[in-house]
């Protein structure tokens, strides 16, 4: 089983800080599972039809929170880094295409600067 580093970008950090404490605790737990290589769709899922965008999935008090992310190979070795781009409160069954597009733009920008 692989282990991963998780880099949380500033926009994602700001969203996480604004989440209720109970949701923050669930997110930390989900990130800890992913960090040790336990990836299950209940809390971390690849979004189909995207440029390899994934989402941390948190449900709390009848609200659904998503933190979008992508995988990136580290420059200094075989460790893969998960980069959390931003978050939002999900209101419908599908992840909004504008949120996916935003994550894909952040991914491209991040990768061009961090080759």
| pLDDT tens digits for range 36-48 | 888 888 899 999 9
Say if residue 115's pLDDT is above 90: no
- Name residues whose C-beta falls within 8 Å of residue 2's C-beta, 6 or more positions apart in sequence: 37, 80
48/104 Cα distance (integer angstroms): 13
Structural domain boundaries, residue 45: 4-113
Structural domains in the chain (count) = 1
Of 38, 106, 33, 115, the closest CA to residue 74 belongs to 115
Contact status, residue 4 vs residue 37, Cβ threshold 8 Å: yes
End-to-end CA distance of the chain: 25
| pLDDT tens digits for range 33-86 | 999 888 888 899 999 999 899 999 999 988 999 999 999 876 666 558 999 999
User: In this structure, what CATH number is given to the domain that contains residue 46?
Assistant: 3.30.2310.20
| pLDDT tens digits for range 103-112 | 999 999 998 8
Please, how many CA atoms are within 13 Å of residue 14, restricted to the half-sphere of its CB?
5
- What pTM value is reported for the model? 0.91
Q: Give how far the C-alpha of residue 14 lies from the chain's centroid of Cα atoms, to the nearest Å.
A: 14
């Amino acid at each position: 089983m692989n282990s991963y580093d998780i880099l949380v970008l500033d926009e994602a950090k700001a969203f996480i800080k604004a989440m209720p404490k109970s949701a923050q605790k669930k997110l930390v737990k989900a990130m800890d599972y992913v960090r040790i290589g336990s990836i299950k769709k209940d809390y971390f899922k690849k979004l189909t039809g995207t440029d390899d965008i994934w989402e941390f999935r948190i449900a709390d008090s009848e609200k659904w929170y998503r933190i979008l992310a992508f995988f990136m190979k580290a420059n200094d070795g075989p460790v893969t880094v998960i980069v959390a781009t931003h978050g939002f409160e999900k209101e419908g069954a599908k992840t909004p295409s504008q949120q996916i597009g935003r994550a894909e733009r952040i991914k491209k920008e991040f990768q061009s600067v961090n080759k």
